C-alpha cells in the first residue's frame, strides 16, 4: 500500500533539497509499504531484536507454526495459549518470550487498542508502545513509519539515518545529533519520506518491517 501522501511529499522534498532530488529520481517506483497488522508487526520486531535477519525468520517461522496461525496474521490469543517454555523451544529467549506474551496480553485485554491510534499524535502512540516490555523508542518509531505510515517520523537514533546524513550532508564526518535534528527540520512535515530516501542511499532494496 503506497501512502497517499507519498507523491506530494516527494515533489516538495525534491524542490527543497537537491540531495533528496537525486535520490528521489533514482527510486521513482518504490515507497514505504505496510505488510502486516499491528500485533504481528510488533511481535516480529521483538522476535528479530539483536539477531540476524536469517535467524529471525527461522525463529518467527517456528513461533507461527507453534501457534497454528498464518505467518502474516499472528493472533494474541494464540500466543497467550503458549507458555514461555514453549516459546523458548521455538528459539525465543526467555526474556523475548515474556515480551511477546506481554504484548499479546495488552492487545487481548484492550490496554493497546489500535483503533484509537488514528486520533492520537505520534508521540502519544510512542508513549503507549514503549510501555510494552521489549519495545523501545526506535522500535516504536519504525512501527509508526512502516505500519501506521505516519509521514513525519524522524528516528535520529537510527544508525542508518545517521550514516546516510554524514555521507550526503557532512562529507562523511560524524554529525552531532543536534545538527541532524536541525537538518530534519527543513523536511517537515515529510521527515519519514526523507529518512526513507536517505536509507536508500545505503540499501537500495527496502527492508520490510
> For position 207, what pLDDT does the model report?
65
d(CA 83, CA 88): 9
Sign of CA dihedral 84, 148, 2, 27: negative
**pLDDT tens profile 120-135:** 999 999 999 999 989 9
Q: How many alpha carbons fall within 13 Å on the CB side of residue 196?
A: 32
> For position 1, what pLDDT does the model report?
67
Residue whose C-alpha is closest to residue 197's, from 69, 16, 35, 58: 16
Residue 55, C-alpha cell as written in the block:
535467524
Helix (H) or strand (E) holding 78: helix 76-80
Residue 124, C-alpha cell as written in the block:
502519544
- Which domains can be identified in the chain, with CATH numbers? 6-33+152-202 (1.10.1670.40), 38-146 (1.10.340.30)
Distances (CA, A) of 44 to 7, 112, 158: 29, 17, 18
pLDDT by residue, tens only, the chain of 209 residues: 679 999 999 999 999 999 999 999 999 888 888 878 999 999 999 998 888 878 988 999 999 999 999 878 999 999 999 999 999 999 999 999 999 999 999 999 999 999 999 999 999 999 999 999 899 999 999 999 999 999 999 999 999 999 999 999 999 999 999 999 999 999 999 999 999 999 999 988 776 65
CB 50 within 8 A of CB 36: no
d(CA 9, CA 3): 10
Residue 86 neighbours by CB under 8 Å, 6+ apart? 66
**Phi and psi (nearest 5°) for 73?**
-150, 75
Amino acid at each position: 500500500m503506497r501512502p497517499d501522501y507519498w507523491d506530494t511529499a516527494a515533489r516538495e522534498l525534491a524542490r527543497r533539497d537537491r540531495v533528496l532530488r537525486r535520490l528521489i529520481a533514482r527510486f521513482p517506483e518504490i515507497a514505504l509499504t505496510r505488510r502486516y497488522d499491528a500485533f504481528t508487526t510488533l511481535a516480529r520486531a521483538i522476535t528479530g531484536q539483536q539477531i540476524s535477519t536469517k535467524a529471525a525468520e527461522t525463529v518467527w517461522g517456528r513461533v507461527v507454526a507453534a501457534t497454528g496461525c498464518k505467518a502474516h496474521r499472528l493472533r494474541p490469543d494464540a500466543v497467550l495459549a503458549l507458555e514461555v517454555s514453549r516459546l523458548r523451544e521455538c528459539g525465543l529467549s526467555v526474556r523475548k518470550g515474556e515480551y511477546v506474551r506481554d504484548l499479546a496480553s495488552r492487545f487481548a485485554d484492550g490496554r493497546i487498542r489500535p483503533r484509537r491510534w488514528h486520533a492520537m499524535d505520534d508521540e502519544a502512540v510512542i508513549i503507549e508502545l514503549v510501555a510494552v516490555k521489549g519495545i523501545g523508542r526506535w522500535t516504536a518509531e519504525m512501527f509508526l513509519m512502516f505500519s501506521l505510515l505516519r509521514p513525519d517520523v524522524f528516528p535520529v537514533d537510527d544508525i542508518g539515518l545517521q550514516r546516510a546524513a554524514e555521507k550526503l550532508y557532512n562529507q562523511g564526518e560524524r554529525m552531532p545529533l543536534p545538527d541532524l535534528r536541525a537538518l530534519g527540520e527543513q523536511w517537515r512535515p515529510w521527515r519519514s519520506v526523507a529518512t526513507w530516501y536517505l536509507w536508500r542511499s545505503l540499501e537500495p532494496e527496502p527492508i520490510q518491517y
